[in-house]
A and B are shown apart, each in its own frame.
Chain A
Amino acid sequence: MWQGIETGLVTAFSISNLAVVVVGCFAGTVIGMLPGLGPISAIALMIPISYGLDPAAAMILMAGVYYGAIFGGSTSSILINAPGVAGTVATTFDGYPLARRGQAGKALAIAAYASFSGGTLAALLLLLAAPALARVSLSFQSADYFALMLFGLVAVCAFAGRGQVVKSLLMTVFGLMLATVGTDPTAGVPRFTFGQLDLIDGISFLLLAMASFAVSEALMTVLNNEDSARQAAKAAAAGAGSLALSKKEVAEIAPAVGRSSVLGFFVGVLPGAGGTIASFLAWGMERGLARGAARAAFGKGSLRGLAAPETANNAASTGSFVPLLTLGIPGSGTTAVMLGALLSFGIQPGPRLYIEEPAVFWSVIISMYVGNIVLLILNLPLIPYIARLLAVRKEILVPLILFFSLIGVYLVSFNVFDLWLMVLVGVAAIGLRLLGLPLAPMILGFILGDIMEDNLRRALIISNGSPAFLWARPSTLFIIVATALVALFPLFNRRAQAGEGG
């Protein structure tokens, strides 16, 4: 094993491969910043280029692009509330309020530090535990995935704060309902499509996220009609804000980063869970652990609330390499694209990969670490420039946001129907916002709805239609009990707070 690591170190630190990491991270950041282009499209764009490289360099390039794109995605989430990929939706919760407060620079810096820490800690875990973990990830069955999704939904709602629990539940269920539009995942027949051929494939995540976050936000700016020149001047004066973190802020973030790294990595290891669930769970967990004023700050620009999902998202993307490299099973859409690339080089990932191709296996793991360092060095100096985006007058910024959101969605589906649907969702989203209903639980319900239903239906088929699958296996039962406890949390919390008050 040490010999393999040594080979990997030599391969990863060769000048040409270091250059590949730098190029990959930079390209990934730029691509990821454009709303609509996420890690999957970024990696797909790299495939033709990778044919000219040797397998190790190609994998290193793709890992670099992957990380870059994830970081780039958080940039657009923080600055213009446009999460291009599901994994950065949770980043908008606290990142966007921070940017609006004139602390965009700090928010981006925290995102960079958190991504770095999450990626680094997870890469260490990967180095130590990859082969052993591969087996563990195979003990997770459909029933467990269903329970895990349920836990994620309940946790986010239960920790939504006073007066918000019912609203969050309402919007989560609305999101779940939206997810059922399209083709039934088990029987393959259309449902809730109103006879529209365009709806057979369902509503795309990108469309819903762009319309309900970016488009509605841009239109809200118009509705608020604050004097644009004055606003731009204010933003310019505030600039990016300071990038530096005080000692107190570091102390606030550090434990959250530590916890979220571990959580993110283990969620990432499970094939079919991945960065999105990891980021939501981390945000929910930190909010649940926070007390008093710190909890109240969540969703309004809490540094901890920003650091947690960013860390977890990156840790999970590192974790998702465990099933890919050790079992040959892609845990996410992105790793599926990478698996295709590996196969085209004649490399079959699997339990024997690190014996047969030690250079590829270890150099990918080591270059992930290098990629994280490069990302930090590359992005910290750029942050003040990126953050200047906010100083652009809204007469220019709003059309640009609308343009990129619409184009981003159109370029994926090439279906004009999607543009109309996007406008409809954007308008509906404004209505919901004016009513004070939170949109984040809706998106969460929508994202998890598909996976949740898929696993529920499968668990039911396997248990021959009986709900016994909920308690048949200890691991499922454990998650279900945890979910029940979390669901009761708001009740206890209210009583505790009432007690304090009296």
Chain B
Amino acid sequence: MARCRRGQCAAALLLAWLLALGGVAVAAAAVVKPARIHFIIPGGAGGGWDRTARTAGDVLVKGGLLQSASFENLSGGGGGKAIGYLIKTAERQHATLLVNSVPILVRSISGIFPFSHRDLTPVAAIIGDYGAIAVRPDSSLQSIEQLIAAFKRDPLQLRIGGGSVRGDLDHIVAAMAIRALGGDLQQLVYVPYDSGGKAVVGLLTGEIQALSTGFGEALEQMRAGQLRILAVTAPQRPPQLPAVPALSEYGSGAEFANWRGFFGPPGLPAELADHYAALLQEMQALPAWEEARERNGWVNFYRPRAQFADFLAAQEAVISALRRDLGFR
């Protein structure tokens, strides 16, 4: 074996691999609940997707709900490569979950991805964060009404920045705030930064007048005395800040959650998908999960199977409509 030529070695390895995969496929065909789950992370090590998948896997194993978990970072194409791979190899991926979030919707709406969430099997959303609109603590704008009034007076002098590109997450949240209070979306000057942190710097240097960001991040910055939060996209006022209004108090359709969740391959048997969704629900009761959630500042946002699929369809509709009004195709 050690002396075999490269081609032979590769062939032997391939054969062994196929046999192993065959084993998995046969096991799945009989819908035997797998004792191990393989997590595909469509981005590099250290990002938000990476942390979510690895934390969930570790907690499931440590909590005894799963025998073992393996992880695979598959970056490229803004996550599209991993999704394409899962679709292409679906039959032998019945013990595989792929982590994703809002980008899967935005990138399929904008046509960057040749596929969408409908080509996968939604298993469950597990965590989420709402959007927030914030200003500098020394800003003269004391409320979201004053902010939008200032925007209506001179949109060029009320620029809203955020940590995502145009037409994505933070831009959508900013647009929701404008629309909820009756502003003209076409007038919005959105300034994109490459991260939420950089956008906070932009706010503090005064090149933007308001910031659209995640509520969790904004809350931390507010505690450090860098921000004042004016409104959130949660369905109700946040329990930590009861004085801050929810945008939905002003107009309907102004709710928006940035979720993270798991998808299975297309054609995943419903029994297995339900099983994974149940596992993820049990996970949320574990103390280890509670601790990790606390440490990362995550909020539980459990939406299993059909509920998750409906949520995705609804969010997709909201994003498409807002993007159209913002002038995207």
Binding site for B on A (CB under 8 A): 40-41, 44, 138-142, 183-190, 197-198, 200-201, 271-272, 323, 327-330, 336-337, 339, 343-344, 348-352, 412-415, 417, 454, 457-458, 461-462, 464
A272 near B201: Cβ-Cβ < 8 Å = yes
CA distance A327 to B220 in the complex (A): 12
Q: A188-B168, A413-B75 are in contact. List 12 more A-B contacts (CB 8 A).
A: A40-B46, A141-B205, A201-B78, A271-B201, A329-B201, A330-B197, A344-B295, A414-B44, A414-B73, A417-B76, A462-B159, A462-B208
A189 near B110: Cβ-Cβ < 8 Å = yes
B78 near A461: Cβ-Cβ < 8 Å = no
Q: A residues within 8 A CB of B193? A: 454, 458
**Chain B 203-231 interface 0/1 with A at a Cβ cutoff of 8 Å (1 = within):** 01111100000000000110111100000
- A198-B81 contact given A187-B167, A350-B224, CB 8 Å threshold: yes
- A138-B296 contact given A190-B112, A201-B75, A327-B226, CB 8 Å threshold: no
A138 near B224: Cβ-Cβ < 8 Å = no
A-B contact pairs, 25 of them (CB 8 A): A141-B205, A141-B206, A142-B202, A183-B165, A186-B192, A188-B110, A188-B167, A201-B75, A201-B76, A201-B78, A327-B204, A329-B200, A329-B201, A329-B204, A350-B224, A350-B225, A351-B224, A352-B225, A414-B44, A414-B72, A414-B75, A415-B81, A462-B189, A462-B207, A464-B189
Interface size class of B (residues with CB under 8 A): 35 or more
Q: B residues within 8 A CB of A457? A: 192
- Within B165-196, the residues touching A (CB, 8 Å) are 165-168, 189-195
Q: B residues within 8 A CB of A337? A: 46
- A185-B165 contact given A44-B46, A271-B201, A337-B46, CB 8 Å threshold: yes
B112 near A336: Cβ-Cβ < 8 Å = no
- Within B131-179, the residues touching A (CB, 8 Å) are 156, 159, 164-168
B221 near A328: Cβ-Cβ < 8 Å = yes
Is B297 on the interface with A (CB-CB < 8 A)?
yes
CA distance A41 to B44 in the complex (A): 11
A183: which of B78, B295, B296 is its contact (CB, 8 Å)? Answer: B78
Tell me the minimal C-beta distance from B169 to chain A in angstroms. Answer: 10
CA distance A461 to B77 in the complex (A): 26
B296 near A344: Cβ-Cβ < 8 Å = yes
Is B80 on the interface with A (CB-CB < 8 A)?
yes
CA distance A413 to B73 in the complex (A): 7
A189 near B76: Cβ-Cβ < 8 Å = no
A186: which of B110, B165, B198 is its contact (CB, 8 Å)? Answer: B165
B224 near A348: Cβ-Cβ < 8 Å = yes
Tell me the minimal C-beta distance from A412 to chain B in angstroms. Answer: 6
Q: A residues within 8 A CB of B238? A: none
The chain A residue with its CB closest to the CB of B198 is A272
Is B309 on the interface with A (CB-CB < 8 A)?
no
CA distance A343 to B206 in the complex (A): 26
Is B45 on the interface with A (CB-CB < 8 A)?
yes
Q: B residues within 8 A CB of A350? A: 223-226
Query: Which of A139, A323, A415 has most B Cβ within 10 Å?
Result: A415
Tell me the minimal C-beta distance from B71 to chain A in angstroms. Answer: 11
- A198-B77 contact given A190-B112, A328-B226, CB 8 Å threshold: yes
Tell me the minimal C-beta distance from B165 to chain A in angstroms. Answer: 3
Query: Which of A348, A352, A454 has most B Cβ within 10 Å?
Result: A348
A351 near B167: Cβ-Cβ < 8 Å = no
CA distance A413 to B202 in the complex (A): 30
**Chain B 300-327 interface 0/1 with A at a Cβ cutoff of 8 Å (1 = within):** 0000000000000000000000000000
Q: A residues within 8 A CB of B87? A: none
Is B84 on the interface with A (CB-CB < 8 A)?
yes
Q: B residues within 8 A CB of A140? A: 205
A462 near B80: Cβ-Cβ < 8 Å = no
The chain B residue with its CB closest to the CB of A348 is B224
- A44-B224 contact given A197-B80, A458-B193, CB 8 Å threshold: no
Q: A residues within 8 A CB of B220? A: 328, 343, 348
Q: A residues within 8 A CB of B164? A: 188
The chain B residue with its CB closest to the CB of A330 is B197
A458: which of B78, B192, B297 is its contact (CB, 8 Å)? Answer: B192
Is B244 on the interface with A (CB-CB < 8 A)?
no
B194: which of A201, A343, A454 is its contact (CB, 8 Å)? Answer: A454
Q: B residues within 8 A CB of A351? A: 224-225
Is B90 on the interface with A (CB-CB < 8 A)?
no
Q: B residues within 8 A CB of A190? A: 112
Is B61 on the interface with A (CB-CB < 8 A)?
no
A336: which of B197, B225, B226 is its contact (CB, 8 Å)? Answer: B197
B201 near A343: Cβ-Cβ < 8 Å = no
B204: which of A40, A138, A142, A184 is its contact (CB, 8 Å)? Answer: A138
Query: Which of A40, A184, A337, A461 has most B Cβ within 10 Å?
Result: A461
CA distance A290 to B194 in the complex (A): 38
Query: Which of B164, B197, B204, B296 has most A Cβ within 10 Å?
Result: B197
Tell me the minimal C-beta distance from B85 to chain A in angstroms. Answer: 10
Is B25 on the interface with A (CB-CB < 8 A)?
no
Q: B residues within 8 A CB of A189? A: 110, 112
CA distance A417 to B82 in the complex (A): 13
Q: A residues within 8 A CB of B72? A: 414
B197 near A184: Cβ-Cβ < 8 Å = no
Is B74 on the interface with A (CB-CB < 8 A)?
yes
Tell me the minimal C-beta distance from A212 to chain B in angstroms. Answer: 21
CA distance A336 to B295 in the complex (A): 16
B76 near A415: Cβ-Cβ < 8 Å = yes
- Within B106-142, the residues touching A (CB, 8 Å) are 106, 110, 112
Tell me the minimal C-beta distance from B59 to chain A in angstroms. Answer: 14
B77: which of A197, A330, A464 is its contact (CB, 8 Å)? Answer: A197
Q: B residues within 8 A CB of A201? A: 75-78
A185 near B225: Cβ-Cβ < 8 Å = no
A462: which of B110, B191, B225 is its contact (CB, 8 Å)? Answer: B191
Q: A residues within 8 A CB of B44? A: 412-414
CA distance A412 to B73 in the complex (A): 9
B45: which of A44, A197, A352 is its contact (CB, 8 Å)? Answer: A44
CA distance A116 to B250 in the complex (A): 58
Q: B residues within 8 A CB of A40? A: 46
Tell me the minimal C-beta distance from B229 to chain A in angstroms. Answer: 15
- A329-B197 contact given A350-B225, A352-B224, A413-B44, CB 8 Å threshold: yes
The chain A residue with its CB closest to the CB of B74 is A414
- Within B12-58, the residues touching A (CB, 8 Å) are 44-46
- A138-B201 contact given A186-B166, A189-B112, A458-B192, CB 8 Å threshold: yes
The chain B residue with its CB closest to the CB of A343 is B220
- A198-B76 contact given A330-B197, A458-B192, CB 8 Å threshold: yes
CA distance A415 to B72 in the complex (A): 11
B202 near A185: Cβ-Cβ < 8 Å = no
**Chain B 92-114 interface 0/1 with A at a Cβ cutoff of 8 Å (1 = within):** 00000000000000100010100
